[in-house]
Structure 1
């Protein structure tokens, strides 16, 4: 055995466990060594019996790795055994690092997208996360088991284009009863998560260079979708009644797409007034554009306990050019990645064909289970049960924030949804506070990151969905330590 091969195998033995099968690890190690020139063409590999004995592994592991390399052309067999095949295009060190200017090889759109913060979703005060422990998992598992019991080859292939018929019917009924959305199942399209829905709106309803109005501050994934689609973004300020465009803007830069989060503006929490809802509908239609209504966070009405959530804009004028977007990821669990789009009846055929052409359906089993979960009333009962719990957590959070920060740091939002905004007008930069809070085991998001340009407000987004009420005072104490030092 060559010295270089011995080093490669020794490194393989010393590597921490990854959960990957040993034969695959051997195959990948040998392939990488061949590609980067450490095992040049003609190098003899030890026999499978010898290598298995030397490395104390089953001979089948070695045979498996050798056979994969042989099938891919990296080695060849002859009477003398197995040797590295001639690969004239591979030079020593090739592929060992990124090429010069690798970042510039991405498109301008890709380079302009902001980084995504990860790893916060299970920490207290993480925004946008519901109490997963309180979810009726046994009921959900039962519906999943029933769906799997009826599985056929079709369900294991692609899902029905546009979504499983059972789920489209169930979503239409759920939205009609709970959100005042006027639609038939044919107007409902199921997609793989809320981001896919926003991407579809940006790509299928507008062309490169068209104008999109976004709230400022804005839900970052919406901005990313519009930016990646090559749209010209106009940032419109938000006040206590939601998006507040200057009247002259309708003439200066009429929108092809107008994106709003009307029931609970993200991130400030304001509610779009009825006057503006009706005005936007009229003006968007006159401009030949579309209104994208993202109803991401409307299932809990804290302003009027026991009352239904505010009705959707779509229900005010069902034939208007409105696409109503929502997701079940926050109501069930984030990993489900099932969302929906409701389009006008007159656009259902054309837009439906475009959606089917661009996006392949999946998760047929989960879609069938979700349809029955909705039809059984389980989700509605769960939402009713959690409403008082979330209101109590919000009140505990408000009280603790006032105790630590007083009137100097206003708290915004709270009429709906699962987060509040703590303003820090005279505090340290919110980005620094977020880092300090993370080190103390508390999640927060910087308010300034949601603004376009450099004029963003300083503050923190604080979710109370997964923060237990009894722990909130102590957790806010940690947050105060991060803010005050």
Structure 2
């Protein structure tokens, strides 16, 4: 006796763009099983019986039966095919229920401080001049790499990164940043944030103290918090990170994160005396210094400030850098320079944690540097950013109708506009975002207390026209006379 065909299976299959009749039948039966419409043990009709009912070929039904059986939804024997017994949830989980499930306690340490934008809006700090990137030259480099790619380049590479890129980087860092290193000390990462995560994972334990600058880079705070360190904000002054003896006594650090060349966001430059004192104290307390040289290539007056890492032999400094500011953020290529004695100790862990990806992009970057395109692009961007910073200063002073003390120094791609204490910089940035501009609130860079109100204004990805329009919008919000 032939089994009765369930009504669910008899609904006609209608040809539709983007899906075959076979796919429709497969999804119908699968959803019927998962939603309880086809109960466990239900005998299904044979492929010969169902095919003419649905006006499809027997092979179409046979292929669906075979697929469902392979996935465990059907089981077959000499008597035919029936629905497999499945442990379906007694109660369907809704969005509200899932949202209430427990997460890691450290999640509560992260705060959403403002509405996020895509990074393309004017005034967003940390975004380079994307429209000025030499896409044609980069495309030629990529095409050259792709046209001569051997099959083995498509596999996993050296976990430390492409050897040729590391060799080129070592030469460049020695010449332009004063970093003491060879290629063997360099590890290519997916941006600085991954390098920070690796430093926390490999050089500290939960419960250790980790120092960050106050105010400072929020990504560093997030990396330390994710590693369950006790994050200690250390105040900065005009010479950068300024720890007091009581900090070393009460919260001796395992990790110290700092941006000595151009403090983020205030622009303070750590003095030579402060750098050497920090290195000496770190050696005494067996602490690791993480030096983030995030925009050391953009210095507009005098000679560039060299890296702290190269000031002494065997400094306990892990030097971090990336190409997000000098090229474009989506490239996601950064690096860290390990102290030589650490390389052999960390190699086994790094080989387990990293897989040596992005090989084509790494090789393209190597060629881009060796061809001179990278150096030429940097030169153009230095001139452009110097001009844009000068224009932003001019427009802010004009809009305010008076001289205002801007922070940020003569480097990088942002300036800080301090505001009166009674101003709410978060509310101001929210209004500016609604108007199409994306500066950051200075108060959100503080860990404990919102010591100072202000706006961190990026000019890297802003034209002169956009800067002028933005300062006028800001002038209206702040009721400036200009």
**TM-score of Structure 1 vs Structure 2, range by shorter chain:** 0.7 to 0.9
Structure 1 position 71, deviation (Å): 2.9
Structure 1 position 103, deviation (Å): 4.5
| C-alpha distance in structure 1 between counterparts of 2:79 and 2:53, whole Å | 14
Structure 1 position 152, deviation (Å): 3.1
Structure 1 residues 470 and 186, CA, compared in 2 at 3 Å: closer, same or farther?
Answer: same
SS in 2 for 1:126: coil
User: What is aligned with 2:473?
Assistant: 478
How many pairs were matched up? 470
Structure 1 position 367, deviation (Å): 0.9
User: Is 1:450 the counterpart of 2:448 in the alignment?
Assistant: no
| C-alpha distance in structure 2 between counterparts of 1:458 and 1:396, whole Å | 23
- Name the TM-score, length of structure 2 as normaliser: 0.86
- Report the aligned-residue RMSD: 3.5
Report if aligned partners of 1:191, 1:339 keep a CA contact under 8 Å in 2.
yes
* Partner residue of 1:319 out of 314, 333, 339: 314
User: What is aligned with 1:365?
Assistant: 360
1:68-467 matches, cutoff 5 A: 68-75=67-74, 85-87=84-86, 89-91=87-89, 93-97=91-95, 99=97, 102-104=100-102, 106-115=103-112, 118-304=116-302, 307=303, 309-407=304-402, 410-426=405-421, 428-467=423-462
Structure 1 position 297, deviation (Å): 1.4
| C-alpha distance in structure 1 between counterparts of 2:276 and 2:444, whole Å | 30
Report if aligned partners of 1:180, 1:315 keep a CA contact under 8 Å in 2.
yes
Structure 1 residues 61 and 476, CA, compared in 2 at 3 Å: closer, same or farther?
Answer: farther
| C-alpha distance in structure 1 between counterparts of 2:400 and 2:220, whole Å | 32
Report if aligned partners of 1:393, 1:469 keep a CA contact under 8 Å in 2.
yes
Report if aligned partners of 1:129, 1:466 keep a CA contact under 8 Å in 2.
yes
| C-alpha distance in structure 1 between counterparts of 2:21 and 2:473, whole Å | 44
Mean Cα deviation higher: 66-75 or 270-279: 66-75
Structure 1 residues 339 and 78, CA, compared in 2 at 3 Å: closer, same or farther?
Answer: same
Structure 1 position 40, deviation (Å): 4.9
| C-alpha distance in structure 2 between counterparts of 1:208 and 1:469, whole Å | 47
Cα shift readout 1:308-329 (whole Å, capped 9, x = no counterpart): x210001111411110001112
| C-alpha distance in structure 2 between counterparts of 1:194 and 1:456, whole Å | 27
Structure whose alpha-carbon radius of gyration is higher: 2
Report if aligned partners of 1:120, 1:126 keep a CA contact under 8 Å in 2.
no
- Name the TM-score, length of structure 1 as normaliser: 0.86
Structure 1 position 28, deviation (Å): 7.0
| C-alpha distance in structure 2 between counterparts of 1:271 and 1:231, whole Å | 27
| C-alpha distance in structure 2 between counterparts of 1:394 and 1:408, whole Å | 16
Report if aligned partners of 1:36, 1:93 keep a CA contact under 8 Å in 2.
no
SS in 2 for 1:353: helix
Structure 1 residues 86 and 310, CA, compared in 2 at 3 Å: closer, same or farther?
Answer: same
Structure 1 residues 369 and 426, CA, compared in 2 at 3 Å: closer, same or farther?
Answer: same
SS in 2 for 1:256: strand
